[in-house]
Amino acid sequence: MITDAVEAVGGQYGPLRHVGVSAPGVIHADGRTMSIAHNLGDDGPFDLLTPLEQAVPVPVALDNNVNLAALGERWRGLARDVPTFAFLAVGAGIGMGLVYQGEIVRGAHGAAGEVAYLPLPPNLPPAQRSGHGQERLANEASGYRMLAQVRASPDWPGTRPETVAELFAQAEAGVPAARDLVEAEGRHVALAVASACAVFDPELVVLGGGVGSNPMLLPMVREAVAALVPFPPRVETSALGGDASLTGALVLALDAARVELLGALGFNFPVLR
């Protein structure tokens, strides 16, 4: 894909200088080792960067996809003038990028914002707990989980939705079972936002991802957050949509390329993030 892109535009824009890569996992401090990449089918730790470096003849930078979505939103989205905010992505999984005073919060292991591991109260009897006694937000809030609940329903009214988009469409059309699942999703998302507010106090929370960016979810999350948090942040849907992580990867590559080029000339250049 990189080779094809360079061949398509290289004559217009010049040589490739740097590559930024967005990846769905925890990136360790070395910038190349990744862990708990469940959606890639590998919990790791494993080295994702070296194979890319061997295939591409320029420097490569790697970062977590939700962290990069937050950087993208800060560069070209709703958070351009907001120094402290969170980007909550809900899709196949759930994760959060935290930006404090303009800098990504990474934590001791690179795992800051991994809200998929937030423990949930075990309200159900043990035999009915999907998490087998380890209820976590990821077990309840992902798009996969919503569709699993649809399939598990013994008496779904009418046509059973096969995608999250179809599920939201049925909820908007007033199908009670679909509405119940979407409202439960709104409560789960609001719980993640409230948890971040308790320890991070962001001014803004941006919702993204295939599930999180659905406009039907926004008023539900706002209402639930307002009921849970003493100082509720502004909650908005991402201005960048599905391009948020890609835009952040572009920030990563542009920063590195500018530092390299201008550094060779003896200039210091402030990075975009």
Whether residue 22 is contained in a domain is answered as: yes
Whether residue 39 is contained in a domain is answered as: yes
Looking at the chain, how many residues does it have?
273
Whether residue 272 is contained in a domain is answered as: no
Q: Give the strand pairing for 204-208 and 234-237.
A: parallel
Name the pTM for this structure.
0.89
- CATH number, domain with residue 144: 3.30.420.40
Residues 228 and 260 in one domain: no
Residue 272 pLDDT class (50, 70, 90 cuts): low
Residue 131 pLDDT class (50, 70, 90 cuts): very low
Q: What percent of the chain has pLDDT over 90?
A: 64
Whether residue 269 is contained in a domain is answered as: no
Residues 157 and 174 in one domain: yes
Residue-range definition of the domain harbouring residue 93 = 78-238
Residues 161 and 196 in one domain: yes
The chain-wide mean pLDDT, for the chain, equals 88
Whether residue 207 is contained in a domain is answered as: yes
Among 32-46, 60-74, 81-95, 212-226, which stretch is predicted with the lowest mean pLDDT? 32-46
Report the alpha-carbon distance of residue 253 to residue 273 in Å, rounded. Answer: 11
Residues 164 and 198 in one domain: yes
